[in-house]
Amino acid sequence: MIGQEHGETAIRAEGLVRTFGTNRAVDGVDLEVRPGEVYGFLGPNGAGKSTVTRMLCTLLAPTAGSATVAGFDVAREPGEVRLRIGAALQSASLDDKQTGVEMLRLQGRFYGLSRGDTERRLAELRELIDIGPALEDRVGTYSGGMRRRLDLALALVHNPSVLFLDEPTTGLDPVSRVKVWDEVRRLNLELGMTVFLTTQYLEEADELAHRVGIINGGRIVAEGTPEELKRAIGTDLIVAVVDGDTGAARSVLSELPQVERVDVNGAEVSASVQDGPAALSPVAIALAGAPAVGRVRELSLRRPTLDDVFLSVTGERIGAAEAEPVGVGA
């Protein structure tokens, strides 16, 4: 692996700020990722996810604050950072006139790999990208999913110590997505590779991330292991879908002693409780006794998910957010 990170942290950001004109896209982010950790980075559209990632990858300069990656400052030592990272970002920079094999070999040369090492690495990556004979074809003929897989392979040619993945499985079919998950686990477990994973798939963060950070409005608003974050909003969730006034439903449920917090998303009202079975009946009675709530179309009891955590700290479900655009305010 080229350039193992030194120091106690693989990624550290302190007071990181990025502005675009009058828009403060990243507003004082403090972040620490330990060596060998898979860190999941979540946030609604426009929250600053891609902007933070691009600063950490040295593609954008911070307006204020500081950040180090693999022990090197992203502003003062960008060349040292780039030698030690791999990055598969939202917009893949691929040469349509080259073949997949040519691009992989060229990437190996850029990082100083010998011809033998490049060929061995190429053989290892063929199974991951799963493009088959098309790897010998020009990239311009590739589908969106094939381009995404090739971009991931390019980020891995030199076995970086820190890998940045910005929504790496967007556009992939379920089988290909699982293959990428398996490769990320292998890289992390067998090689100790640190992974900074931005994703819109909550099950991806739940499956892969040791810790998760949620950014909203350019600030980190929640951080912890997936289980810690889910426990923080209650042991159980009672979810009601109503025809009437969700504000009235929120008020009624907030008055119940069993209910710790209430979140609203569209027609859905979620009540966080510690003992779901015991609280289910009082919740149903309270909703039925409030005329403004109208008919309760669904009432269910379940354990919290990362999507519920996301709703509680951002006010929206991540499934409602589209992939974040790269550029101003991203």
CATH number of the domain where residue 278 is located: 3.30.70.920
Within this chain, do residues 67 and 149 fall inside the same structural domain, yes or no?
A: yes
Domain boundary among the residues 202, 227, 252 is at: 227
The residue ranges of the chain whose pLDDT is under 70 are 1-7, 91-92, 319-330
Domain with 92, as residue range(s), is: 11-227
Q: In terms of Cα–Cα distance, which of 156, 141, 154, 193 is closest to 37?
A: 193
**If you search the block for the tokens 């979620």, which residue do you land on?**
270
Give the DSSP letter of residue 278: H
Full-model pTM: 0.81
Whether the CB-CB separation of 121 and 113 falls below 8 Å is answered with: yes
In a domain, 163, yes or no: yes
Helix axes 100-110, 144-156, angle to 10 degrees: 20
- Asked if the structure places residue 326 within a domain, the reply is no
pLDDT of residue 327: 40
Strands 72-73 and 64-69, how do they pair? antiparallel
Compute the distance between CA of residue 270 and CA of residue 236 in angstroms, rounded to an integer.
Answer: 10
Of the three residues 182, 211, 227, the one that is the final residue of a domain is 227
Choose one of 211, 227, 243: the last residue of a domain: 227
Residues 107 and 146 in one domain: yes
DSSP secondary structure string for all residues of 271-302 = EEES-HHHHHHHHHHHHHT-GGG--EEEEEEE
In a domain, 267, yes or no: yes
Single out the residue of 66, 83, 87, 84 nearest to residue 75, CA to CA: 66
Whether residue 308 lies inside any domain: the answer is no
pLDDT tens-digit series, residues 46-83: 889 989 999 999 999 999 999 999 999 999 999 999 99
Looking at residue 325, its amino acid is: P
Secondary structure (3-state) at 26:
strand
Residues near 199 by beta carbon (within 8 Å), at least 6 away in sequence: 40, 41, 42, 165, 167, 168, 169, 205
Which is nearest to 187 in space by CA: 145, 226, 225, 156?
A: 156
Neighbouring C-alpha atoms within 13 Å toward the C-beta of 36: 6
- Within 10 A of 302 (CB to CB), how many other CB atoms are there? 12
Beta-sheet pairing, 219-224 with 236-242? unpaired
Give burial (CB, 10 Å; 0-12/13-18/19+) of 102.
middle
In a shared domain, residues 139 and 286: no
- Number of domains forming the structure of the chain: 2
Domain for residue 292, yes or no? yes
Residues 118 and 61 in one domain: yes
325 part of a folded domain: no
In this structure, are 73 and 199 located in the same domain? Answer: yes
> Could you tell me if 168 and 22 lie in one domain?
yes
Same domain, 110 and 241: no
pLDDT at residue number 322: 42
